[in-house]
Chains A and B, each alone.
Chain A
Amino acid sequence: MGSTSAANHGSEGVGRRDLIKRSAALGLFSVPAVGFLSACASSGGGGQSKDKTGKKTAKNPLGVNETAKMEFVLFDGGFGKEYAQDAVKIYEKDFPKATVKFSATQKIQSTLQPRFNQGTPPDLIDNSGAEQMDMGVLVGKNQLADLTPLFDAPSYDDPNKKVRDTLRPGIVEMGQFDGNPIWIMYYAYTVYGVWYSQKALDSLDAEYPQTWDQMIAVCEKAKKKGMAGWTYAGKYPYYIPFSLYPMIGKVGGVEVLNAIDNLEPNAWKHPAVKACFEAYYELYKKGYILQGTPGLDHIQSQTAWAQGKALFIPNGSWVENESANVIPSDFNLAVSAPTGIDKNDKMPFGTIWASGGEPFIVPAKAANAPGGMEQLRIMLSEASSKNFTSKVKSLTAYNGGTDGITLTPGLTSGVAALKLAGSNVVNPRMQDWYVQLQKEKIGVAGLGEMMAGRLTPAETIQKIQGFADEAAKDTSIKHYKHQ
């Protein structure tokens, strides 16, 4: 701004040259928005060569090359990495000549996307967390190895039993997308439902309600004591389906849920869906939802719930670990299958949503795919499963493995809920098949609006059906069907 230096600039103000200069500077700032995508430019060559497979023996049913290197990348999330490191030690003991390269990261996508693009992925990946790579795309682009050999191999503990026969319901099916190949091995086992404090329920002199009239009665009792009936992760309303979907299944039968997953026309217009939506809307109408819930995120809502401001919350079994620091020691955490409408429901009380979490994959282009599968076989042994459960307070895909270890209240309740459910375990697939539809459209734009009272159930159903029809027609996403 000196008076001399600007003198020979002319009086045009910002000249064309300045404009260009500034536009270029502008480009410098805005380039990350566009250009960062290309950082993972797909210029990869032919990829890596496969290791020779070893001889199949009783001890080595997958034919692992005993000298080959095995690389294992773990998602370092709520479950930590200790359980996997313990399993790696067993692998190293079983194959003393092999070297294992183990790493744990939260940045699954940023670390591994370039390696997929170059064709040099590791041998085993825990594809989880916020940076999860889209499974549908990985499957669709033939990037994953079929894990069927693992599921048909004898289990680590009992050579007369196949691995697939040692697993909990739904695990094998969840790993399939369409057709028989099994692409994913879900290691953790999550119980979804309505979570509450048994102590709080006792203080109301109530039992967990099995019909909706009872639910309303319990909420009314709670309201009189200055406690809200429900709260939920208002900013992430796709937590509501954790109790709503199995309720739809209970009321209308599992076919209704399958029709929804299959994106069938008018699937959402089924009377069971309508009845359940209206039941949930009643919670809002009667003022049983904690004031301010639509503005709370999952942690905030769980905290309010743990402080006793609300009785029930739809959630998954991770809540015990996630909110451990706010749940009082005498809270007596419990989970229940969702409340139904009345005795005319198609499925009995106890019908629950339970399914796999922590998806492990073996890339198709892995150098040592049998090694990756063998590592999974080790993790599915009873000892490894017990180790996981006692360390991270979660069940695994291994059916059993809870005897002889002390379980936390939530976990005990989860095991009991699974026992009550028996074979009535439903497994809606919306959240792993159609992420955008489930989270952003059904969750935020549909259920979230309804539970905040800005849409009626009829309008919500109309809107969600529209989203589902759109998704069914969208050629840019892959479509799946229940088998």
Chain B
Amino acid sequence: MSDIKKFMYLNRRAPYGTIYAWESLEVVLIGAAFDQEVSLMFTDDGVYQLIKGSDTSESDMKNFMPTYRTLGDYGCRHMYVDKASLEARGLTQDDLIEVAWEDFETEEEVDNIVEVVDAEQVATLLAESEVVFSF
């Protein structure tokens, strides 16, 4: 198919304080049906969306952070995280969830598609995308 486009979802907000993170996640889940080349970029407070160990049992909120781990099954091929945003928040890749990806036809597997990238790579990846959705 020649009409496959490179989609990038740019996530810059923390998961619960505003609706942006959940909206973005829903669009990615629904958009998976359209067979595009989908990548996600997490910068600024958006990196908090991928922190492991969330527990909403004492909050009146649905915990949607486990849902990010199934994005590989929804055709998401890359999840990039801005290194400087992590460092400013005292975080490292060890604090982040791991997301597996598998091509069910070819059985090609990737253990973890979450990748920490530097500012130059962020810029290049955004520039190379044909469509960027901002959240």
A and B from one complex: no
Taking Cβ atoms with an 8 Å cutoff, the residues of A that contact B are none
